[in-house]
Structure 1
Amino acid sequence: MLSVLGAGLSLAQPVAVNQVIRSISTGRSAAPVVLVLVLLVLGAGLVGAAQQYLLERTAEGVVLTARRRLVDQLLRLPVREHDARRTGDLVSRVGSDTTVVRAALTGGLVDALGGALVFTGALIGMALLDPLLLGITLGVVLVAVLAVVIASARIQVLTRAAQEAVGRLAAGVERAVSAVRTIRASGATDREVARLETEAVSAHDYGVRVAGVGAVLWPISGLAVQGSFLAVLGVGGYRVASGALAVADLVTFILFLFMMVMPLGQFFSAVTTVRAALGALGRIQEILGLPREDAQDRAPGRTEGTPGAGAATLGPGRRGRPVEVSFDQVTFSYRPGRPVLDRLSFTVPAGSTTAIVGPSGGGKSTLLALIERFYDPDHGSIRLDGADLRAMSRTDLRARIGYVEQDAPVLAGTVRENLLLAAPEADEAACQEVLGAVNLLARLQEHPEGLDAPVGDDGAGLSGGERQRLAIARSLLADTPLLLLDEPTASLDSRNEQALHAAIRSAAAGRTVLIVAHRLSTVVGADQIVVLDHGRLTATGTHEELLGTSVLYRELARHQLLV
């Protein structure tokens, strides 16, 4: 509406100027017409300001929507997609690519749509004044438009390549910053700087190539203006001298010419920015078009959020009864032809503590990832109380599981925010209870901010053992019927290991616990120990039983001085 109003106010100005000139030439008072002209100019300015504000606000809204969708999509992609892609590149699509799309909206696209009205109105006015001059003008303009359309196609290709180069640079920076201590300790700082400089140069080179094409496009608008103006001035001057055209009409025609050229410049700008935005938009759509993890839950015969047979809906903080977990001929591989787990079958009885042990690379952590449904088995099935996990929604399944990963990730923020991640309604007393259980409460009480003490980026303010204990406390606070622990004592000293053993024994009451461990001292008291070797089950039993029946387990125990 503002575009239409602004176009009308602008198109009325040359008509008013024409009347001013005719009034002066005939000796009539031009004051009323001059007042109308002033009001038209002021009105067009106010409408333009309002339109620009709404345009900027709308562009921000579009970017906000795109970023919301991208963030929602990124956090719901299957884990395999995150395994296959670089984090920095994904982050750049939320920041850099959406900014390029915003530029398309504010860089002339909407203005060009509104300017089309002015362009059309100016053409009509020029046609009524002098069709010959209009034909000369259009001849110059059409050549310019053709050149812009051809050259702008190159900009789309180069912009996408430039954005991909920026994504690689962001991924490289994220990689280096996250491992800055390792890089410095390895004396690799110069090599990493050189690697990132190479990526930066690549992004720069693509940017320069985009600028080169743009440098060809920008003068075209100016040449179109100058060429058409000189042609109109020359031919129009001749027609005025011959009496075929009035001076007032020539002045009005030239004003219409400038009104036509202004939206033409907006069109040139819009073509360039839209072509650039299409490259960035393609990268955004690539991510938005990927299947989401929750889409895989929509199996035939059930709706999203409905548990499968035998699975009861369970909210965080409601432990419920212990659950049984069983593996039936499970085979899984990250890459075709290289199984990590091979026809694995065993059962974790409800309410028991079961340990998974074996050499590194034997598939122990993968086993826990399959229970969490970060991946699904290639063959066979995993059952929870008799129900196939694939018949359950991931949301319902994960509400029943507490999971502590091997690397014990801690999110930037405070201790409280990390604890409440899986149990947002837990009170302070419950938080202090689980911190005490993992021998971390005294450490936090020394800090003046207590539970609101910051942990730093990736938990940099905590030691490795403290990060691991905080992650375990977070799972204990969720109070789920199934607890998965991946190397829970890997970063702990003997004192804290003993405290954690006591915490695990306490937590095991009334729930099923599955522990992956290299330290056999962590699991000697387990109800059942499962021994894996290269993804295959080699033995099950208690610690004492396995010392007599499993050669592999006996070797592991001997190396750790347990026999």
Structure 2
Amino acid sequence: MIRMLLRVLGNEYAGPVRRTVALMTVTAIVEGLSYALLVPVLRALFGSRPADAWPWLAAFAAAVAVFGVLRYRSDVSGFRVGTTLLRGMYRRLGDHLARLPIGWYDSGRVGQVSVTASSGVLEAMGVIAHLLSPFISACVTPLTIVGVMVAFNWQLGLAALAAAPIVAAVQVWTGRSVAATDAQRHERGHQATGRVIEYLQAQPVLRAGGRTTERFGLLDDSLRELQRASRRTTLSALPGVVGSTLVVQAMFTAILVLGAYLALGGNIGVAEVLAILVLAARCADPLLALTDIGGKIRGARGELSRLDAVLRTEPLPEPSRPRRPRSHDLALEAVSFRHGDRTVIDDLSLSIPEGQRLAVVGPSGAGKSTLLQLLARFYDVDAGTVSVGGVDVRAMSSEELMARIAFVFQDVYLFDGTIEENVRLGRPDADHAEVRAAAAAARLDEVIERLPGGWDTNVGEGGALLSGGERQRVSIARALLKDAPIVLLDEVTSALDPVNEQAVHAGIERLMAGRTVVMVAHRMRTVQRADRVVFVDGGRIVEQGGHEELLRHGGRYAAFWDIAAAPVASA
């Protein structure tokens, strides 16, 4: 457990963790040794001179005081180290997630990472603060007491010691039997969480279909599976709980019988038997608690395993000697890219001179958006090269590449903050005038004027308090403020009303001026503003050329244009 914890956190935290573990171990040993002083105390009290117990009582009080101080210091150390580890874990996880390929974040992983990064990290890092001390105490204190018992009477000590391997075997067997069912329970819990979210998001559809009073079958099935998995986990842990209880009770009974036998034979005094029985009773409590603590530690170990799996995911490699391009032209040379078993881009070559606008059109699933993602190095290609200014994007640092590219996507995500905070993400160090100028160019100022809070209006999580067109204007203002030489646009006006579409088009025109632009578009108004058009299908370029040239050619693009223009003409 500790080795996995240190592997997840990194070697820089090894020292504080080991010191805390050592302090907790010493505390547990002192606790066990303090109980050893009960033997001479009881021997004196039941002997001919009870007053002789006073020095031993003083020694016992001193030992308890030392134990109290050590326990306080070890608990404080555990909390401090746990807090430090928590902060370090969040930092390391955040840094690592920021370096992973964007393609790694599919819908399933986003849910898993969100759970792991919240409750999972807290549970895993809580081991040091809350579980390690009682776990060490439950293991070390009984062993120390058994050592004391061996020193006072080897027969009774060995009888107690015989229970140790049995208790350990029960714990190992319980851990193995629970591990499989615990993993299933976690998986069912993750699925149930997804179904609950799906049920909440599907409310408009369910109500439109008149199913507001019906149960959502998929959610019910998922919750039943979670219930069954939780029951299996509880039942699989039950034999371990019962087994540990039986072993501890059998140990205490054996010591009691053996102590009575030795006392009746005159081999040991009644006071010593009573004292050893007290010690045996002190062994029983932590041993019985070991099963519960072990279950919590196994749960934390599972979270650590999931964290470890995320941190072991290889990020995109960074060059040891990054290069800087001297121009802003783009090129793809014999590029191929596979997503799972599917070839999305197949031996594609394309060049975009600096300052030109390229429109990418084609049917859904043709690889248009993937083309933009490869240019921005959201993924690394499987074959070929993607370059900016003649420099392979893999030879550039991520910071250098991102500084040269501005994105405007169809699905705009805004952070839960004010409009100004979201615009400033484009360039946090921009001054007041630059932010206002970017907003005016994107026609965001029209939105701000009619909002009661103006620039300080909170946009809500994901920008939920703004309309789609308003979110798009914030995104364009952000891109304008960034002032990057390369602009990538992905279906930015496909779902806007006419008023917002006109405003967004005006902002896009400002954004594209004098920059290298690659735009994925279905709206023909957008395509006509391009210097060159490529028609992509099946991950390959089927046709390319100017808009008028491709229309005269009468190929795939012309047919696509006729279909797109038909609704406009009929209207």
* Runs (5+) with no aligned partner, structure 2: 1-22
Determine the structure 2 residue equivalent to 1:449.
453
Q: CA deviation at 1:156?
A: 1.9
Determine the structure 2 residue equivalent to 1:37.
60
> Cα deviation per residue 1:148-191 (whole Å; 9 max; x = unaligned)?
32222111222222222222223334444456545554667778
Structure 1 CA distance for aligned equivalents of residues 412 and 31 of structure 2: 65
Determine the structure 2 residue equivalent to 1:230.
253
User: Please, which of 46, 52, 63 is the counterpart of residue 75 of structure 2?
Assistant: 52
DSSP 3-state at the match of 1:531: strand
> Cα deviation per residue 1:511-562 (whole Å; 9 max; x = unaligned)?
2222221111123233333333444434444333333234444444444268
Structure 2 CA distance for aligned equivalents of residues 502 and 276 of structure 1: 55
> Cα deviation per residue 1:192-249 (whole Å; 9 max; x = unaligned)?
8332332233233222222223332234443334333333233323432332211222
Instruction: Give the share of equivalent positions with the same residue, in percent.
Output: 31
Worse-superposed segment, 221-230 or 95-104: 95-104
Relative to 1, partners in 2 of residues 1:127 and 1:408: Cα closer, same or farther, differing over 3 Å? closer
1:332 aligns with 2:353: no
Q: CA deviation at 1:481?
A: 0.4
> Cα deviation per residue 1:372-416 (whole Å; 9 max; x = unaligned)?
111233443333222222332333212101111222333333222
Relative to 1, partners in 2 of residues 1:19 and 1:311: Cα closer, same or farther, differing over 3 Å? same
Q: TM-score, normalised by structure 1?
A: 0.85
CA contact (8 A) 2:359 2:532 kept: yes
Structure 1 CA distance for aligned equivalents of residues 60 and 213 of structure 2: 66
Determine the structure 1 residue equivalent to 2:348.
344
Matches within 5 A, 1:186-335: 193-265=216-288, 267-293=290-316, 296-298=317-319, 302-303=320-321, 306-307=322-323, 311=325, 323-335=328-340
DSSP 3-state at the match of 2:533: strand
CA contact (8 A) 2:359 2:534 kept: yes
Q: CA deviation at 1:121?
A: 3.2
Structure 2 CA distance for aligned equivalents of residues 63 and 184 of structure 1: 43
Determine the structure 2 residue equivalent to 1:127.
150
Structure 1 CA distance for aligned equivalents of residues 205 and 468 of structure 2: 15
Relative to 1, partners in 2 of residues 1:179 and 1:461: Cα closer, same or farther, differing over 3 Å? farther
DSSP 3-state at the match of 1:162: helix
Determine the structure 2 residue equivalent to 1:470.
474
DSSP 3-state at the match of 1:420: helix
Structure 2 CA distance for aligned equivalents of residues 274 and 222 of structure 1: 19
User: Please, which of 359, 368, 374 is the counterpart of residue 372 of structure 2?
Assistant: 368
Q: CA deviation at 1:109?
A: 4.1
Determine the structure 2 residue equivalent to 1:384.
388
CA contact (8 A) 1:63 1:99 kept: yes
Structure 1 CA distance for aligned equivalents of residues 495 and 432 of structure 2: 27
CA contact (8 A) 1:9 1:41 kept: yes
Determine the structure 2 residue equivalent to 1:317.
none
Q: CA deviation at 1:2?
A: 5.2
User: Please, which of 357, 360, 376 is the counterpart of residue 361 of structure 2?
Assistant: 357
DSSP 3-state at the match of 1:244: coil
Q: CA deviation at 1:480?
A: 0.2
Structure 2 CA distance for aligned equivalents of residues 405 and 188 of structure 1: 34
DSSP 3-state at the match of 2:40: helix
DSSP 3-state at the match of 2:105: helix
User: Please, which of 389, 402, 413 is the counterpart of residue 417 of structure 2?
Assistant: 413
> Cα deviation per residue 1:427-484 (whole Å; 9 max; x = unaligned)?
3332222222222212212223322211122221111222222222221111000111
Relative to 1, partners in 2 of residues 1:409 and 1:124: Cα closer, same or farther, differing over 3 Å? closer
CA contact (8 A) 1:356 1:517 kept: yes
Determine the structure 1 residue equivalent to 2:519.
515
Determine the structure 2 residue equivalent to 1:147.
170
* Runs (5+) with no aligned partner, structure 1: 313-321
Structure 1 CA distance for aligned equivalents of residues 432 and 209 of structure 2: 42
Determine the structure 2 residue equivalent to 1:545.
549
1:401 aligns with 2:405: yes
1:158 aligns with 2:181: yes
Relative to 1, partners in 2 of residues 1:92 and 1:192: Cα closer, same or farther, differing over 3 Å? farther
Determine the structure 1 residue equivalent to 2:48.
26
Q: What letter corresponds to residue 330 of structure 2 in structure 1? A: V
Relative to 1, partners in 2 of residues 1:45 and 1:222: Cα closer, same or farther, differing over 3 Å? farther
Worse-superposed segment, 260-269 or 84-93: 260-269
Determine the structure 2 residue equivalent to 1:506.
510
Relative to 1, partners in 2 of residues 1:278 and 1:125: Cα closer, same or farther, differing over 3 Å? same
CA contact (8 A) 1:403 1:475 kept: yes
Determine the structure 1 residue equivalent to 2:97.
74
CA contact (8 A) 1:329 1:380 kept: yes
Matches within 5 A, 1:422-501: 422-501=426-505
CA contact (8 A) 2:43 2:272 kept: no
CA contact (8 A) 1:323 1:350 kept: yes
Q: CA deviation at 1:23?
A: 5.7
Relative to 1, partners in 2 of residues 1:429 and 1:189: Cα closer, same or farther, differing over 3 Å? farther
Q: What letter corresponds to residue 417 of structure 2 in structure 1? A: G
Structure 2 CA distance for aligned equivalents of residues 57 and 190 of structure 1: 51
Q: CA deviation at 1:290?
A: 1.3
Worse-superposed segment, 444-453 or 186-195: 186-195
Structure 2 CA distance for aligned equivalents of residues 184 and 393 of structure 1: 50
DSSP 3-state at the match of 1:297: coil
Structure 1 CA distance for aligned equivalents of residues 555 and 379 of structure 2: 31
DSSP 3-state at the match of 1:26: coil
Worse-superposed segment, 167-176 or 392-401: 167-176
Q: CA deviation at 1:261?
A: 3.4
Q: How many residues align?
A: 544
Structure 1 CA distance for aligned equivalents of residues 206 and 114 of structure 2: 22
Structure 2 CA distance for aligned equivalents of residues 379 and 550 of structure 1: 32
Q: What letter corresponds to residue 431 of structure 2 in structure 1? A: D
CA contact (8 A) 2:32 2:144 kept: no
Q: What letter corresponds to residue 105 of structure 2 in structure 1? A: H
CA contact (8 A) 2:75 2:133 kept: no
Structure 2 CA distance for aligned equivalents of residues 237 and 339 of structure 1: 80
Relative to 1, partners in 2 of residues 1:536 and 1:260: Cα closer, same or farther, differing over 3 Å? closer
CA contact (8 A) 1:14 1:255 kept: no
Determine the structure 2 residue equivalent to 1:319.
none
1:4 aligns with 2:63: no
DSSP 3-state at the match of 1:461: coil
Q: TM-score, normalised by structure 2?
A: 0.84
Structure 2 CA distance for aligned equivalents of residues 61 and 203 of structure 1: 34
CA contact (8 A) 1:415 1:452 kept: yes
